Amino acid sequence: MATEAFTVRAETSTVHKLDHIAGSLDRSRNYLVNQAINEYLESHAWQIEKITQGIEAADCGQLVGHDQVMQEIEALVEQKTTNKV
């Protein structure tokens, strides 16, 4: 896989924390930063996809009313609290 260098400026305390974790894991700073970037991109890609799906559904009139949502949430809460006893 091809790589490309770029520069990121961070607070000194952040760099020290990164270096501490890198040392503890016997990994490079570069490795940890790449892992963090990949996790961030994956998480945000998922969120953007779900938001896009929601907007498309709303545009097609596929909406769920507030009262229905609240009923479903209350039922889930009731189920969870009942199962704890």
What is the tens place of the pLDDT at every residue in 18-50? 999 999 999 999 999 999 999 999 999 999 999
Residue 76 CA to residue 71 CA, distance in Å, equals: 9
SS3 content of the chain, % helix, strand, coil (to 5): 75, 0, 25
pLDDT for 84 beyond 80: no
DSSP label at residue 10: -
DSSP label at residue 68: H
**pLDDT at residue 1, rounded to an integer:** 85
**pLDDT at residue 83, rounded to an integer:** 80
**pLDDT at residue 85, rounded to an integer:** 54
Say if CB 29 and CB 16 are below 8 A apart: no
Round the average pLDDT of the chain to a whole number and report it.
94
